[in-house]
Amino acid sequence: MANLVELRCDDALGLQAQIRRAIVAAIRGGRLAADSPVPSSRILAEHLNVARNTVTVTYRQLIDEGYRFAKQQSGYFVSAGLANPDAIGAETTSSPERGHYNSLLREIAGAHRSALQDALRKRIPAVDFVPVLGGASCWVSGPPWLDARALAREAFEKGVMIEPDDVHFVADAAPMTHFRLGFSSIARARIEPGVQALASLAEAQRSR
């Protein structure tokens, strides 16, 4: 961890951008392999002598971009999807002849977004979701009977990761029907089967 991130006061980038750049470089360079643990926000913040929120915000961005994923009660790990040739980053770096990096990234991300939104409309019509115009995740609102935390636990057992959204509400009685779906770090062909698995689990919840 000592050599994972080095911050420079003379760098044109801010602290969050420097941390993100270093971690992405470590992943791309193989120093952080797929499924390997990423230092916790507390440990990395203490090591760098920065506010923990600085690291937390950066980690949130890395999750949105598909570089990290959570394991129940185990912390955060490098996404194995980055080794998949159908993942956004892999497609981008392996196809330089297709044009500018950013243009290609938007093209691939757009295809993944469309695949997810089409799958939600087709497989779980009972949910609402915010149309994805950018980023790498989709906010979903389920019917009143849905328990997103229970769904997350059950989906994890099926190999599908979702993030319950109640932690983002300040009210004492936060709604349990919201969750977030990432889509950038998996093969596009796996998106609809993953949504179908969520649909089956949600239907089982309603039947209980």
Instruction: Tell me the three state secondary structure of residue 177.
Output: coil
Q: What is the DSSP letter of 131?
A: -
pTM recorded for the entire structure? 0.51
**Tally of helices (H runs) and strands (E runs) in the chain:** 7, 6
Confidence of residue 34 (pLDDT cuts 50, 70, 90): confident
Q: What is the DSSP letter of 166?
A: G
CATH 3.50.30.30 fits 88-207, yes or no: no
Fold match between 15-83 and 88-207?
no
> What residue ranges do the domains of the chain occupy?
15-83, 88-207
- Is 89 exposed, middle or buried (CB count within 10 Å of its CB: 0-12, 13-18, 19+)? buried
pLDDT, tens only, 169-206: 665 666 788 898 888 777 788 899 999 999 999 999 99
DSSP string covering 44-90: HHHHHTS-HHHHHHHHHHHHHTTSEEEETTTEEEE-GGGGSTTSHHH
Cβ-contact 140, 126 below 8 angstroms = no
Residue 107 has a pLDDT of: 66
CATH 1.10.10.10 fits 15-83, yes or no: yes
Confidence of residue 91 (pLDDT cuts 50, 70, 90): very low
